[in-house]
Amino acid sequence: MIALTLAGSLMGCMTMDSFFFNGTPVTSYALGGDIIPPEDVEQVTFTTDDGWTDYGVWAHQPDPNAPVFVYFHGNADNIDHYWLNNDDPTKPGRVEFYWQMGFNTFIFDYRGYGMTGGDPTYTTLQTDGDSAAEYVMSATGLTSDQLYYHALSLGGVPALKAAADYPPKAMSTEDVFANISMIVNDASDLDLPPGWFVQDDWDNAAAAADVHVPILIMHGDSDTYINPYSAELIYAQANDPRVIWHPPGCDHDTTPDIDPTEYIAHLNGWISGADWPS
């Protein structure tokens, strides 16, 4: 957890860029489960704009015209971590959850994660996100404004960049940090400029100002990993139509498990446009 380990990490080195990335290189993905039929699972690769090979997996719907949901996952582990719910096998994993909602769901691994391999940086994270959007458009024959983007935590960095470059129909963020200043201030008693630790710009609030699509900003009000106030800062910079929701009693990445009914209602209302403020 950032709040518990960041201060020590900062004292041991002069940059925290590498702290964001917690992927594990693997030679195969441990997919499976009883929810998504094997025939609806497709592992793919795509070439990034700078020539790297990224790995992704589709959870296809039987209806090829179902909405396309591009999932930008968080910093913990790889695709298979978000496929199944290993913490509670009685509940669906994140990809299973969105597939059950009726979405053609695409998840991919950034550099440094899973079979994608390589060395992650802030720049490659954004390049991977843009390239994933390009791949999904190419694979489906859809334009970006026919897609939906959803970002969890670290996924806010590539998702907001992709949304600015390839605007989707709408997007949502979940438990995304606002900027590096908030993380440093929350995690350490050191009153030092965040630039002393970070070589790149990690300002999701500022990035939201460049996004001109409907945005739903979700952040559990009991998040002990990323300060829920991050959502307020992102909301302040975002463009209309925008909505902010703090799911009560929810920690980091727990809303689909704790309050699935409201979570589904918020996502469906946003994807359909029914909940866009006029």
Alpha-helical (H) ranges within the chain are: 2-12, 79-83, 94-100, 122-140, 156-165, 180-187, 204-208, 229-237, 255-258, 260-272
Question: In the chain, what percentage of residues exceed pLDDT 90?
Answer: 79
Residue range 52-73: mean pLDDT, rounded? 96
pLDDT of residue 198: 63
In angstroms, the CA 29 to CA 80 distance is: 6
Residue-wise pLDDT tens digits, 6-29: 444 444 444 555 568 889 899 999
- In this prediction, residue 123 has a pLDDT band, given cuts at 50, 70 and 90, of very high
For tokens 């139509």, name the residue: 241
Instruction: Give the model's pLDDT for residue 180.
Output: 84
The CA distances from residue 40 to 3, 19, 63, 99, in Å, are 39, 35, 11, 10
Q: What is the pLDDT of residue 3?
A: 39
- Range 159-164 average pLDDT: 98
Write down the domain spans for the chain: 2-272
Report the distance separating Cα 25 and Cα 264, nearest Å.
32
Reported CATH class of domain 2-272: alpha beta
User: What does pTM read for this prediction?
Assistant: 0.92
